[in-house]
Amino acid sequence: MEIIMYQIDFTKPIHVYFVGIGGISMSGLAEILLSRGFTVSGSDRQESPVTKKLTEQGVTVYYGQREENITPDIDLAVFTSAIHPDNPEYIAVSRLGIPMLTRAQLLGEIMRNYELPVAVSGTHGKTTTTSMLSEILLAGQTDPTLSIGGMLKSIGGNVRVGHSGYFLTEACEYTNSFLSFFPKIGIILNIDADHLDFFKDLEDIRRSFRKFAELIPADGALIINGDIPDVAEITRDLACRVISYGSGSGCDYYPEDITYDDHAHASFLLHSPASGDGKDQSGRIVLRVPGEHNLYNAIAAIAAADLMEIPRSASVPALAGFSGTDRRFEYKGTKDGVTIIDDYAHHPTEIRATLLAARNYPHGRLWCVFQPHTYTRTKSLLPEFADALRLADEVVLADIYAARETDTLGISSETLRDEILALGGSCRYFDSFSKIEEYLSSNCTKGDLLITMGAGNVNQIAEDLLS
């Protein structure tokens, strides 16, 4: 996609057209511009609750992408990476010479208009950490603008339009999207091998995160997980301040005296630069989301809040009240004594973290219904997937969710099943959700914990079982 660069200026509202305006991220950006006096229009394949809401706010939405939707009064067109040059609206925009931005570039341009833009990056945990920090910013009465990759109950969606200089967003590394951003504070939660349909290998991914770190200006700061292997390679000679957090005393922020309750919720004492003698004045920090991984997500959020001078009297209670976002160890209900949880985990590191957290949750047998996400990811990380899934007592596999891919690469869920069985795990594969649901209904017993897991539509199984 050839992009004609265009700089957004909040003091000079223009007419912006979104191709695919009904998407969760695109609709959020449309709302932000609309609140700033911009004229907003766009198209989508079909009507949805999102497009209906936009229409009620004064947005013109066309259903179906057609050349005649593009008119000369449009000043800027925004596309997602899913739109190709043969799209009729793309062709019309090009013919009329209307400037174009990708979704990521528009988000970067919007960031330029805020005094304190914060970007949360990392292979895992972005949505949860962004949500945690959102709750802290709200508790600190900063009136922030928020752009989250999931639905946050306290704001009733994924976007909040504020009226201050605070702007918080997720920063995704896929297709190097986050390299279009302009953060004042950047967070790197972790760096893992993923999206290998785009990146060559882990080193390629690490280079991308290094470039992200280099975007932060000299008067900004990078908050980074000090447990990342060879972390100095990412942080060396950066112009900005570097603040580390992690498991040990070599980091600026680290936890001590960690305990877990009956539902795998952590509580801990925090060592931080602000505490000087190591005795933090916050007292015990208590979380309502499970697992060790969320403990470190919370510490990253606290470090960012400290940097923004939000008092612990706001940040600690905000974390204590945060119960998670949709599809992140989300309790769905109980059926015949079986507890059903849904989780978005789709990478071996995430699966391991979720299943380890589940082990601290009251249960008999631990069941994991997993839907692999993309052939590329499944093939490139097959042994890691098998090893992580073995943490469940019983694994049930659905077909691979293809997402954007068409080539199966000779891989299937049966390949993964065989790998798990070879490691001594218990695993079954079924070629339809209905067969999976029938098997679970017959074999799960009172006291069992069942987790539906994956980034596709596997959550439908949880809904079906409960209904």
Active site residues: 126-127, 170
Dist. CA 204–CA 219, nearest whole Å:
27
Q: Which of 91, 85, 108, 93 is nearest to 32 (CA)?
A: 108
Dist. CA 80–CA 27, nearest whole Å:
12
Dist. CA 361–CA 98, nearest whole Å:
55
Dist. CA 252–CA 298, nearest whole Å:
14
Write a three-state SS string for 201-224.
CHHHHHHHHHHHHHCCCCCCEEEE
Dist. CA 412–CA 431, nearest whole Å:
11
Please count the other Cβ atoms lying within 10 Å of the Cβ belonging to residue 2: 6
- 47 is written with which tokens? 């009507």
- 132 is written with which tokens? 């945690």
Please count the other Cβ atoms lying within 10 Å of the Cβ belonging to residue 293: 22
99 contacts 92 by C-beta, under 8 angstroms: no
226 contacts 245 by C-beta, under 8 angstroms: yes
Dist. CA 122–CA 321, nearest whole Å:
24
Q: How far apart are the first and last CA of the chain?
A: 44
Q: Which residue(s) pair with 102 in the sheet? A: 79
292 contacts 124 by C-beta, under 8 angstroms: no
211 contacts 142 by C-beta, under 8 angstroms: no
Q: Which of 363, 367, 372 is nearest to 456 (CA)?
A: 372
